[in-house]
């Protein structure tokens, strides 16, 4: 599921920017994480997750119902994906078997069911459950980690920027989470280094 799509983010430093994670399974990582990433946490309640899902590229609208167990499963899957993606981005292929098992377990559940209406409008059988959403995320991850896209998982080269994305550019030379953010900061820094007085 490699679609061109981006979402507006406002991290703790307050600068809003558009971010394209490149694929659904990495998009979930912008909602927070463990350790250092806990300060970005956006998913505190099942309602937080239900409210976030419509912003993701899976396109479920506001049809989603999330339980407390499903929120816990989401945080588990997200932590596993975070570790797997960081490993991939570092060039290593020493993936944790437990994390791959977490991915497989989520992928085993049935995904959202697509429907088409009388005016050929495409939608989903409603309500979509949190488990179905996680299945869509995990199936996307199986596709990415099990194919050539694995070599395109990158960490932003910005200073202390933890953002992970799938580089879907044709030349495969994407370096930044966003040109407006880390790309621009890098440009300003190199310009300053070249003209230290100005």
Q: What residue ranges bind Zn ion (CB under 5 A)?
A: 156, 158, 161, 163, 177, 182
Closest to Zn ion by CB, 57 vs 154, is: 154
Give whichever of 67 and 155 is closer to Zn ion, judged by the CB atom: 155
Query: Shortest distance, CB of residue 185 to Zn ion, whole angstroms?
Result: 8
Are 9 and 30 contacting, i.e. CB atoms less than 8 angstroms apart?
yes
**Residue placing its CB nearer to Zn ion in the complex, 64 or 177:** 177
- CA distances for 198 relative to 54, 89, 97, 112, 180, angstroms: 45, 36, 52, 55, 22
Min separation Cβ 157 and Zn ion, Å: 7
Which residue in the block uniquely carries the two structure tokens 């703790």? 12
Q: How far is the CB of 178 from Zn ion (least distance, A)?
A: 7
Quote the tokens at residue 106.
């989520």
Distance CA 85, CA 71 (A): 21
- Give the Cα separation of 127 and 116 in Å (integer): 15
Q: Rounded to the nearest whole angstrom, what is the least distance from the CB of residue 154 to Zn ion in the complex? A: 10
- Give 14 or 196: the residue with its C-beta nearer to Zn ion: 14
Closer to Zn ion by Cβ: residue 83 or 185: 185
Where are the extended beta strands (E) located within 16-143?
17-19, 64-65, 114-116, 122-124, 128-129
Min dist. Cβ of residue 36 to Zn ion (A): 14
């Amino acid at each position: 599921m490699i679609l061109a799509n981006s979402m507006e983010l406002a991290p703790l430093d307050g600068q809003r920017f558009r971010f394209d994670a490149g694929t659904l399974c990495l998009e979930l990582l912008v909602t927070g994480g463990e350790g250092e990433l806990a300060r970005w946490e956006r998913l505190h309640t099942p309602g937080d997750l239900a409210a976030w899902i419509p912003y993701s590229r899976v396109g479920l609208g506001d049809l989603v119902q999330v339980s407390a167990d499903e929120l816990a499963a989401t945080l588990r899957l997200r932590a596993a994906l975070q570790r797997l993606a960081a490993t991939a981005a570092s060039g290593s292929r020493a993936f944790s078997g437990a994390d791959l098992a977490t991915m497989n377990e989520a992928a085993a559940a049935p995904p959202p069911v697509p429907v088409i209406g009388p005016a050929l409008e495409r939608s989903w059988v409603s309500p979509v459950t949190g488990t179905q959403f996680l299945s869509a995320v995990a199936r996307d991850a199986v596709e990415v980690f099990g194919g050539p896209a694995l070599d395109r998982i990158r960490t932003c080269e910005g200073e202390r920027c933890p953002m992970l994305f799938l580089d879907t550019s044709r030349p495969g030379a994407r370096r930044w989470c966003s040109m407006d953010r880390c790309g621009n900061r890098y440009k300003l820094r190199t310009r300053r280094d070249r003209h230290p007085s100005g």
